Amino acid sequence: MLQGQKVVIIGGSSGIGYETAKQVIAQGGEVIIASRSDQKLKTAQAQLGPQVTALTVDTTQEEQVQALFNQIGHFDHLVVTAAETSGGPFLHTYTSQSRQLFENKFWGQYYAAKYAAPHIRPGGSITLFSGVVAYKSMVGSSALGAVNAAVSNLGQTLALELAPLRVNVVSPGIIDTPARSKMSEEARNQFYATLGSKLPVNRVGRAEDVAQSVLYLLQNSFVTGTVLHVEGGHILI
Ligand SMILES: NC(=O)c1ccc[n+]([C@@H]2O[C@H](COP(=O)([O-])OP(=O)(O)OC[C@H]3O[C@@H](n4cnc5c(N)ncnc54)[C@H](OP(=O)(O)O)[C@@H]3O)[C@@H](O)[C@H]2O)c1
Instruction: Please write the tens of the pLDDT for every residue from 108-122.
Output: 999 999 999 999 999
Question: β-strands 205-206, 120-129: how paired?
Answer: unpaired
Q: Which fold has domain 6-229?
A: Rossmann fold (3.40.50)
Q: How many angstroms is it from 154 CA to the middle of ligand 1?
A: 18
For residue 24, CA distances in Å to 56, 122, 179, 181, 237 come to 20, 19, 21, 25, 33
Residue 79 Cβ contacting ligand 1 at under 6 Å: no
Instruction: Please write the tens of the pLDDT for every residue from 177-207.
Output: 999 999 999 999 999 999 999 999 999 999 9
List the residue whose alpha carbon is closest to atom 12 of ligand 1. 81
Order of strands, sheet of 6-10, starting from the edge strand that comes earlier in the sequence? 52-56, 30-35, 6-10, 75-80, 120-129, 166-172, 227-230
Q: Going along the chain, which residue ranges are E strands? A: 6-10, 30-35, 52-56, 75-80, 120-129, 166-172, 175-176, 205-206, 227-230
Residue 127 Cβ contacting ligand 1 at under 6 Å: no
Atom of ligand 1 nearest to the CA of 181: 20
Q: Is the pLDDT of residue 143 over 90?
A: yes
Q: How many angstroms is it from 18 CA to the middle of ligand 1?
A: 10
Which residue numbers are catalytic?
Answer: 130
Ligand 1 pocket, mutate which of 10, 16, 151 (most atoms under 8 A from CB): 16
Q: What is the pLDDT of residue 6?
A: 98
Share of the chain above pLDDT 70, in %: 100
Q: Is the pLDDT of residue 90 over 90?
A: yes
Q: How many angstroms is it from 73 CA to the middle of ligand 1?
A: 24
Domain ranges of the chain: 6-229
Best CA proximity match to 213, nearest among 130, 123, 114, 118: 130
Instruction: Please write the tens of the pLDDT for every residue from 22-64.
Output: 999 999 999 999 999 999 999 999 999 988 999 999 999 999 9
